[in-house]
Amino acid sequence: MTTAALDLHAHDAGAHHTSMPVPSRKLAMWVFIASECMFFATLISTFVIYRDSHAKGPGPKDVFGVPLVTAGTAVLLFSSFFVVMALNGAQQGDRKKLLRWLSLTVLCGVFFVGMQVYEFTHFVTEKHLGYTTNLFASSFYTLTGFHGTHVAVGTLWLATLLKDAWKGRIPPAKALNLEIAALYWHFVDVVWIIIFPVVYLMSLGR
């Protein structure tokens, strides 16, 4: 990291000086992401172990559909692109660019959460797959439910930053606020990059 970059971080609002040449809040987010890797690794493994445990009730092939989830995946991937463009705008001091791309990111988050609510409702009401129907259902709802909660939290976080950006409270010196939220958002995206093939495609293609 260059001296200019360090200076910029040093002037970030709320930046704490540490012996490491990285803002402590950003380092904290990376440590949090590292811990989340273990969390999702456990949930994904549990699903893979229990996905065939559906002697009672429907199994993966009875409930999963590719088109809707593919749409959700594409939207989440695009949202990662949108948030990185918003951050680019924030760092350049381009408020219009920041607002445009951040609004699109929030919309993508809302769409994804809506997709998941629809999917869960469809599974429960149409396919009769409740949380306790079988081990497949429990592990599926736990994994995708936790991921969906992460997306919902990220959407709310980005919405509050959108409000700040609207009021002109995210100048380039405060771009770190968005960078940290963007890190979280990208992590949520990479988790889905694993969940989509492992949970949906591999369960259907067996």
Please state, in angstroms and rounded to a whole number, the distance separating the CA atoms of residues 122 and 124.
6
> Based on the number of CB atoms within 10 Å of its own CB, is 7 exposed (0-12), middle (13-18) or buried (19 or more)?
exposed
Comparing CB distances to another protein, the nearer of 67 and 125 is: 67
45 scored as a contact of another protein (CB under 8 A): yes
Q: Count of residues binding another protein (CB under 8 A)?
A: 55
Token duo for residue 111? 């769409």
Sequence-distant (≥ 6) Cβ neighbours of residue 116 within 8 angstroms: 72, 144, 148, 151
34 scored as a contact of another protein (CB under 8 A): yes
Indicate which single residue of 18, 70, 149, 160 sits in contact with another protein (rule: CB under 8 A): 70
105 scored as a contact of another protein (CB under 8 A): no
Comparing CB distances to another protein, the nearer of 153 and 204 is: 204
65 scored as a contact of another protein (CB under 8 A): no
CB of 171 to another protein, least distance (A): 14
156 scored as a contact of another protein (CB under 8 A): no
Indicate which single residue of 21, 130, 168, 171 sits in contact with another protein (rule: CB under 8 A): 21
- DSSP-assigned states of every residue in 145-187: HHHHHHHHHHHHHHHHHHHHHHTT---GGGHHHHHHHHHHHHH
> Based on the number of CB atoms within 10 Å of its own CB, is 69 exposed (0-12), middle (13-18) or buried (19 or more)?
buried
Please state, in angstroms and rounded to a whole number, the distance separating the CA atoms of residues 80 and 151.
12
Name the site residues for another protein (rule: CB under 8 A): 1-2, 4-5, 8-9, 20-22, 27, 30-31, 33-35, 37-38, 40-42, 44-46, 48-49, 53, 66, 70, 73-74, 77-78, 80-81, 84-85, 87-88, 91-92, 179, 183, 186-187, 189-190, 193-194, 196-198, 201-202, 204-205
